[in-house]
């Protein structure tokens, strides 16, 4: 019950997962998790990265401005941990599906949503995430053969979600 997509292109998986989450919510599926919203600011600056916590009315900023010449990671660990805490608390209501914007470097390093994924799977809550090619080997090691690579086409993702949540989506 651990599915993942891998897409090329900046923000491609974010858009696919956001569209899917909106579709499932409109169909009344109880979701937990986060989708990433990349907000373009200025042409000379990288986008701001926010996580929309599903089922909540607010977003959490997970990027930080390091200045125009910085080359380090822009991830704001405090912002990410805030989102993690909100999502982890939502697992107590046993949602039908957990959607996470990505299994990235933080998760590879044992932080971020890594423990939330384990908690969800232990509670029989299916998990859907995105993994980029650079992190795929580490993700597969984490998943220990439990992860299923999914076709990112909307109809294929809806089919998988229907199967793991035991719902029928027409």
What is the mean pLDDT of each successive set of 10 residues along the chain, which is 170 residues long?
94 94 96 85 64 89 63 68 94 97 93 96 97 96 96 97 88
85 in a structural domain: yes
Say what the pTM is. 0.88
170 in a structural domain: no
127 in a structural domain: yes
Give pLDDT, residue 95: 97
Give pLDDT, residue 67: 53
Give pLDDT, residue 63: 76
**Structural domain tally of the chain?**
1
Give pLDDT, residue 62: 77
32 in a structural domain: yes
Range of the domain at 8: 2-165
45 in a structural domain: yes
157 in a structural domain: yes
End-to-end Cα, the chain, rounded Å: 21
Residue with tokens 């900046």: 10
* Complete DSSP assignment for the chain: -EEEE---STTHHHHHHHHHHHHHHHTT--EEEEEEEEE---TTSPPEEEEEETTSS-EEE-B----TT--S--B-HHHHHHHHHHHHHHGGG--SEEEES---HHHHTT-TTHHHHHHHHHTT--EEEE--GGGHHHHHHHHTT-EEE---SHHHHHHHHHHHHT----
Give pLDDT, residue 72: 46
Give pLDDT, residue 70: 47
- As a whole number of angstroms, the distance between CA 40 and CA 22 comes to 21
CATH at residue 86? 3.40.50.300
């Amino acid at each position: 019950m651990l599915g993942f997509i891998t897409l090329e292109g900046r923000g491609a998986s974010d858009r696919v997962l956001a569209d899917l989450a909106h579709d499932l919510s409109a169909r009344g599926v109880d979701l937990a998790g986060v989708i990433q919203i990349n907000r373009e600011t200025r042409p000379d600056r990288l986008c701001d990265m926010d996580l929309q916590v599903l089922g909540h009315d607010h977003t959490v900023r997970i990027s930080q401005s390091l200045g125009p010449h910085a080359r380090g990671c822009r991830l704001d660990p405090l912002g990410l941990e805030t989102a993690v805490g909100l999502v982890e608390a939502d697992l107590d209501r046993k949602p039908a599906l957990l959607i996470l914007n990505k299994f990235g470097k933080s998760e590879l390093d044992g932080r971020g949503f890594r423990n939330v994924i384990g908690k969800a799977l232990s509670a029989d809550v299916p998990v859907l995430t995105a993994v980029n090619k650079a992190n795929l080997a580490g993700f597969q090691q984490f998943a220990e053969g439990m992860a299923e690579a999914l076709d990112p086409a909307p109809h294929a993702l809806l089919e998988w979600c229907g199967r793991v949540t035991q719902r029928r989506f027409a």
